[in-house]
Structure 1
Amino acid sequence: MKAMILAAGKGERMRPLTLHTPKPLVRAGGVPLIEYHLRALAQAGFTEIVINHAWLGQQIEDHLGDGARFGLSIRYSAEGEPLETGGGIFQALPLLGVEPFLVVNGDIWTDYDFSRLRQPLDGLAHLVLVDNPAHHPTGDFLLQGGTVTDEGEAAARLTYSGIAVLHPALFAGCSAGAFKLAPLYRQAMAAGKVSGEHFTGRWVDVGTHERLAEVEALVQGRH
């Protein structure tokens, strides 16, 4: 199974850090955020990684290279203009092949064990959901008996972690350009083709300076 790290975001809420450094290369505990993913993916048995980028993307390529020092093979999908999550994955599909692949947001930090996702995919997507963080109290989707839906009691909603396994068929009928991923998820949910799991370990959406400081504290506490 191949894996894709989404690294095209501009990180505007983390300025001035991200004025001259792409957000995936912002450091927590002295380590660029994206390197935590690369190390975890390698440990989980992944060998082929695709990374998309836009803002200051050449810095990402220059820093990570071909991935050999992580025991990985890295290929890049450069976006001349940001394509949003859906459009970015769609552009990278030729690099990802015809089998299901793992996708993870480059701007999260987690101790999730990616090896759990190296198994057959039943449907079009499998989403990892987490408890709602303070900055997103209303959540995104519901998990009912292993199936993810968009309908039901709002109080029971969980937050999409930015970690998933996707089948390329999820993008059937899409065309090149910028588009969001969530509408594709909801369409697949309506057809009953999205499974999921509830992860209760450590997870931080590193979108602000405060949450970067939270990761710093977690990393220091883990060593």
Structure 2
Amino acid sequence: MKKKKDENTEVQILEAAKTIFQSKGMDGARMQEIADEAGINKAMLHYYFRNKQLLFEAVFKNAFLLLAPQLSAVLNDNSSIEVKVRNFTSNYISFILVHPYIPSFIIQELNRNPDFILKLKDNPNFPNLEKFKKQVEEEVQQGLIKPISAEQLFINIMALNVFPFVAKPLLKAITATNDEQYQKLVEARTTEVADFIINSIKTI
């Protein structure tokens, strides 16, 4: 029973920290605010996480490792590049609509502390482009897609999928849409983005 209570408290702390870090960033967050959000005292918070940096790293790791398997699953399956692009776009956008805080949170904090990502590279779910690179090279050689490096193609896919989430306030203002209208625009991108990328690389 004690172990279950401890696990529940840790989850409670991580959820509270996610809320505070998301709104204030690492530098602006205070441990007392996180304790208050979690409904515990500061001493209890320090019992679980000795300092703010360790707590932040736990929240960041959880956020990144929610996203990483989504990327790895598509990159490492045996489908064609066209199917990969469609699956990646559909899976990514559907996933982020459920976890909208993740892209902005990860990008904001990677800019603040770019070396932190090195701590995650040994995780088995960390995205690996090797299979994707071989597939792109093969399909280029077979004349199925136009000459393009796998790295450039992957960056194009990521950029077109991530930007609408990290730039939501800006794009809502420019497109003059409310939350409901903007969500419909983003949902439509599950096919719009894939069609755009595929049409740009297909030879026929």
Q: Please tell me the TM-score bracket, short chain as reference.
A: under 0.3
Q: Provide the TM-score with structure 2 as the length reference.
A: 0.24
Considering only CA atoms, is the larger Rg found in Structure 1 or Structure 2?
2
From the two aligned structures, give the one with the greater helix fraction.
Answer: 2
Instruction: Compare relative contact order (CA 8 Å, sep 6+) and give the higher one, 1 or 2.
Output: 1
Q: Provide the TM-score with structure 1 as the length reference.
A: 0.23
